Structure 1
């Protein structure tokens, strides 16, 4: 269980995160999504006790992370795969972690094999690892203490397609055995495939959260993408059909396709796409929720 309650983080006059609240339940994978600079990493650092919140609270397994005795035995964390000692070998890295956590060193060897780092790779220094190999080593460290909770920030970066499939299977199996997973990733299709719930953040605030089925069910309306969206948007507004613009220039209109098509004809707009809203899955949802407001001319 992870519980975040009105977390806020300010740096001087700048608010990085504002009143963020959500829960991650056992047996689920929660996809934590947002554009660069939205506040995902700051929120995860506060959950893990690495950054003190300005206000609000975060608990893992019912208590603040810093109050968990030997936390690696209960919570597996991977926030930055590049932050590993480059002079140690993979085996040395995991053996040291095993010593700190108080687990059998034989488990370190098993974990290296389980994440796809065989003996030859384990003998190499981490400084010579690819990003994908560092990710696998970081996952091995996160799982070493046999935790009940995983908190992972962009764990699939640098992985090839086989590695991404392996990661998806690993996280799904972990959750299906009762574990709790908080996963931040820019790979929206992979998150959509593995997650049970989504939390979407933009501008430091939560803009949507809920079960996958609930959020991805088409809410009605029409998705339209025009070669030049400006004139179409003006005609829609004049017709009493306000539209929400996505970052890709698309428009989501609370009207049926016929009304949108007639407005497009009136505007002389060349349409590239016209379909019911919601069929674009997580990517469409993400773009519609995280679009930045357009500046209007005075």
Structure 2
């Protein structure tokens, strides 16, 4: 369980994180999304005790991260997979993490196997690892203590399609076993595939949060017909908001209501779809357009 309450971080006159509140419940995966510079990493650093908040608080398993006894046994954290000593082997990095947590060689072997790093790969120096291998090693460090909570920043960065599928299966399995997962990622199609809920922030503030399917469905219904004008008049007569769109109409009503209105008007429907056509990616772009680096 992660609880974020009115979390705020200011650096002088600049507010990096501005009064955000949300929960990540056991058994769920929550995507933490936002453009570069939106405050995601700062918020995750506050959740994991690396940065003190200006105000508000973040609790993990009911306590501030720093108050957890042996935090690595409760919370697996990966905020920067490249932050590993390049001169050490993967096994040495993981062995040091195990020693810190009071774990042994069997735990190291289990963690390596869990993330798909072979004995040969584990014996290589981290400086020679690909980005994807570094991600797997970072995950092994996060998982070695058998935590109840995972806090991951861009865990799929550098993974190939097979690796991304493996990551999705691992995180869903972790949540299905009662674990709690908060992940930040720019791979929005993958977030849509793996996450139960999302929290989107822009300029440090939450711009949307909720279940992925509900947020996408909130995009309304897009319809194209043989006579869009007649259909629009029929829907507006029922008090439905209708907006012309490229090649059709965007309607703030259910697909069933649109179908009934078309039947009453004697209009043949050519296309009817619910939600944002591009799914979570389109919703993200709409909601964070003003905060993106390339907004202009």
- TM value normalised by structure 1: 0.80
Shift of 1:214: 1.5
* CA displacement, residues 139-168 of structure 1 (integer Å, 9 cap, x when unaligned): 000000000000000011111111111100
Query: Is 1:31 matched with 2:35?
Result: no
Q: 1:293 to 1:80 in 2, by over 3 A?
A: closer
Inter-partner Cα distance in structure 1 for 2:112 and 2:277: 40
What is the CA–CA distance in structure 2 between the aligned matches of 1:202 and 1:220, rounded to whole Å? 23
Corresponding residue for residue 284 of structure 1? 282
Q: How many Å apart are 1:219 and its aligned residue? A: 3.8
Moved more, 275-284 or 204-213: 275-284
Report the equivalent of 2:123.
123
Paired residues of 1:223 and 1:277 also in contact (CA < 8 A): no
Partner of 2:69: 69
Q: Does 1:20 align with 2:17?
A: no
Q: Which runs of 5+ in 1 are unaligned?
A: 225-240, 244-251, 257-273
Q: In the TM superposition, what whole-angstrom CA distance separates every residue of 1:156-182 from its partner, at most 9, and x where no partner exists?
A: 111111111110000000000000000
- Provide the secondary structure at the position in 1 that maps to 2:124: coil
Alignment of 1:45 onto 2:48:
no
Task: Report the CA distance shift for 1:24/1:95 in structure 2 as closer, same or farther (over 3 A).
Answer: same
Displacement of 1:218 in angstroms is 4.1
Instruction: State the secondary structure of the residue aligned to 1:20.
Output: strand
5+ long unaligned stretches in structure 2: 225-240, 244-248, 254-271
Q: How far off is 1:82 after superposition? A: 0.6
Structure-1 residue corresponding to 2:134: 134
Measured in 2, the distance between the counterparts of 1:286 and 1:125 equals 38
SS of equivalent to 2:290: coil
Residue matched to 1:270: none
Are 2:150 and 1:150 equivalent residues in the alignment? yes
Structure 2 CA distance for partners of 1:168 and 1:7, relative to 1, 3 Å? same
CA distance in 2, matches of 1:144, 1:191: 24
Give the conservation status (yes or no) of the 8 Å contact 1:199–1:208: yes
Output the CA distance in 2 between the equivalents of 1:292 and 1:283: 15
How far is 1:211 from its partner? 1.2
Maintained 8 Å contact 1:222/1:254: yes
* Pairwise CA distance, 1:110: 1.8
How far does the alpha carbon of each residue in 1:23-61 deviate from its partner, in whole angstroms, 9 at most, with x for none?
000000001111111111010000001011111100000
TM-score by length of 2: 0.81
Aligned CA RMSD, in angstroms, stands at: 2.5
Displacement of 1:136 in angstroms is 0.2
